Amino acid sequence: MPTLDVISINLWDILISFMNLAILYLILRKFLYKPVRNLMAQRRAEVESQYAEAEIANNNAHIIQQQWQKRLDKAEADSDMLVKMSVANADKRNEMMLAETRDKADKMIRRAQEEIEREQKKAEASMKKEIVDVSTSLTEKLIEREISPEDHRDLIDSFINDLGDEE
């Protein structure tokens, strides 16, 4: 089989090699660089979209947090007010109840006093009557004669009345 010389120049061989390099360039561009570049671009787009999504989600979370914070603040204020109101109510009711009980007690005391007075009067009346009776009977015995009880009674009544007034 013939061989080329160690240093030989053949234009056709040069052309073939030239074409080989061009062909390999096209192959690499089409089958290696294009798909890989596309893929990388796609990946970058994906990453960017995810970043954007994350940012949106972050913003949303921030807004929601603010809303909740507001609500929480409001609830705290409400509860403070409620406590104050209920304390005030309780104070008022307490006072009211106190006043009521005082009234009731006053009334009861008054009634008791009235009763006492009434009893006193009753006792006074019965004592008077007793005294009158006793004195009549005593005087009857002493003077041994009938005195009209009516006259007598008047006399003694006036006496006792004087007695009671002096006391």
Partner 1 sequence: MIDILLLIGVILPIVIGILIKVLFIPASEGISVTGAHVFFKLDLPLGGMPITEAQVNSWLVIISIFFLCLFLTRNMKTRKQTRRQIIAEWIVTKTDSLVRSNMGKAFMGFVPFIAAMLALSAFSSLLTLVGLFPPTSDLNVVAGWAIMVFILITYYKMKCGPWHYIKSFGEPVPFLAPLNVISEIATPVSMSLRHYGNILSGSVISVILASGLSLLSRKLLGGIGTFPLFRVGLPAVLSVYFDVFSGCLQAFIFAMLTMLYVSGAFAEDEYNERKKRKKAKAEAKAKAEV
Residue 143 binds partner 1 (CB under 8 A): no
Residue 22 or 97 with smaller CB distance to partner 1: 22
Q: Which of residues 12-71 bind partner 1 (CB under 8 A)?
A: 12-25, 27-29, 31-33, 35-37, 39-40, 42-43, 46
Looking at the Cβ atoms of 10 and 148, the one nearer to partner 1 is 10
Task: State the minimum distance, in angstroms, from the CB of residue 50 to partner 1.
Answer: 11
131 in Cβ contact with 159 (< 8 Å) = no
Q: Count interface residues toward partner 1 (CB under 8 A).
A: 39
User: Roughly how many angstroms between the first and final C-alpha of the chain, as a whole number?
Assistant: 173
- Structure-token match 């008022």, residue found: 92
- Residue 136 contacts by C-beta under 8 Å, 6 or more apart in sequence? 147, 149, 152, 153, 156
| Residue 158 touches partner 1, criterion: CB under 8 A | no
CB of 61 to partner 1, least distance (A): 25
Q: Does 74 bind partner 1 (CB under 8 A)?
A: no
Q: Measure Cα distances from 139 to 101, 108, 128 in Å.
A: 55, 45, 16
Shortest spacing between CB 83 and partner 1, in angstroms: 56
Give the nearer residue to partner 1 in terms of CB position, either 9 or 143. 9
- Most distant CA pair in the chain, distance: 199
Q: Running DSSP on this structure, what letter comes out for residue 32?
A: I
Q: Is residue 47 packed enough to be buried (19+ CB in 10 Å), middle (13-18) or exposed (0-12)?
A: exposed
Taking CB under 8 A as the binding criterion, the range among 5-13, 61-69, 75-83, 157-165 that sits at the site for partner 1 is 5-13
User: Measured from the CB of residue 48, what is the shortest distance to partner 1 in angstroms?
Assistant: 12
Cα atoms in the 13 Å half-sphere on the side-chain side of 138: 8
Q: Which residues bind partner 1 (CB under 8 A)?
A: 1-25, 27-29, 31-33, 35-37, 39-40, 42-43, 46
